[in-house]
Amino acid sequence: MLVPMVGEARDPDDSAGPLDGVTVVDASQVLVGPFCTMQLGDLGADVIKIERPGTGDQTRGWYPPQFEGKGDGDGDGDGDAVSAYYASVNRNKRSITLNLKTDEGRDLLRELVRDADVFVENFRVGTLEEWGLGYEDLREENDDLIYCSLSGYGEWGPYAEKPAYDLIMQAEGGLMSITGEEGREPVRVGVAIADIGAGMYATQAILAALFHRELQDAGGQKIDVSLFDGQVAWMSYMAANYFASGEPPERMGSKHPTIAPYQAFPTQNSYVVVAAASEKLWRNFCRALEREDLLEDARFRTNADRVEHRSDLEAELRSELVEYQIDDLLDLLEEYDVPARKVHDMEDVFEHPQVEARGMHSRIDHPTAGTIDVPGSPMHLSQTPTTIRRHPPTLGEHSADVLAELGYSDREIEKLKDADVI
């Protein structure tokens, strides 16, 4: 499990996980890169987060909402708040401030990557090459380095240099064309799924590159992952439906293009989702509702019939299900082994017994914000479990420690601070 059964963070001295001994230099910010490197940190890697002096990762300032608690102890009221957004993707990292616009800052980054395994960045395409910190530059410092670049559209193609945001990617990558109610405006998925998806692909690619390096006794390599590519890949069976039919899929709300009934319905006091994804489940559903007449209706006899006459079926079921209280309906459908659940909000989710049993609600003690609550890791390894060892770091919290590991004296570190390098 990610954490002990009660969901508390582990001691930093405990076994870190399967990537224990791997060093990641993380020059990314906001979501796609930090989500990737948080996963590597959960798996045991030592993640050194590079941040801009004074301001740090943009998401440090993205609040409310925020966690507030102990304060920083100096009585001036600053340093208390930790952005919920920042906290969500920056655990298991050490923060060092580094001004990469200075020669000294870039030299320090080169020193850091000499002994690192992985470098992750999401600067605009071409920026690090201009600073002498591109893949070929850092490869000269460390031929074993795995260099992962994250961007909106990737490093080649006609859109390579265009800026990108999650909303833009969801629209341009096709997701919004199939998300939302039929006949109504396109809808963005409620979390930044393009960023998170690309972050997951980046994690997979990095792990594959590490495996290849060790298994083949090979050097490092360059990884290029884009939000746009990730969104196109995630179209999966919707893209296949288009290729097979020649017709672009349309928005269907919560309904499924090839299964019915498979959607959300209103009840008296909430919403229920029903997934009658086989003929057996359809029969059970009708019997639970005491609507065996639907089984004899020619419009609904097979799944293909139900898909063809979806509107008629939906009208029948809506009028039936809206008469139920949600808990009574769920009990009834469970008795007949019909997959159905209430649509949960975040409060429901983190009160869910399965979330507690699986360690998916974790608590981290933070030096200024008290206890921070975050989702746990979904990666459960039997021999080398993932861990939460470090709170989301305060800005530059580990600068002195990291530089000392590179051999810098206290006096040299102070000089770097005075020169606005760190």
- Greatest Cα pair distance, the chain, in angstroms, is 85
Pairing label, strands 222-226, 93-97:
unpaired
Give me the amino acid identity at 47. V
| Whole-number Å distance between alpha carbons of 357 and 373 | 16
For residue 120, give Cα distances in angstroms to 50, 51, 68, 95, 145: 10, 13, 30, 14, 10
Q: What are the residue ranges of helices labelled H in 164-323? A: 166-172, 193-215, 227-234, 236-245, 279-288, 293-296, 303-308, 310-321
Just list the catalytic residues. Answer: 195
| Whole-number Å distance between alpha carbons of 275 and 263 | 7
| Whole-number Å distance between alpha carbons of 360 and 378 | 7
Burial of 336 from C-beta contacts in 10 A (0-12 / 13-18 / 19+):
middle
Decide if 120 contacts 202 (C-beta within 8 A).
yes
Burial of 337 from C-beta contacts in 10 A (0-12 / 13-18 / 19+):
exposed
| Whole-number Å distance between alpha carbons of 170 and 189 | 8
Place of tokens 């507030």: 68
Decide if 118 contacts 24 (C-beta within 8 A).
yes
SS3 content of the chain, % helix, strand, coil (to 5): 40, 15, 45
Place of tokens 């009160």: 351
| Whole-number Å distance between alpha carbons of 65 and 81 | 9
Decide if 131 contacts 103 (C-beta within 8 A).
no
Question: Tokens standing for 362?
Answer: 């974790």
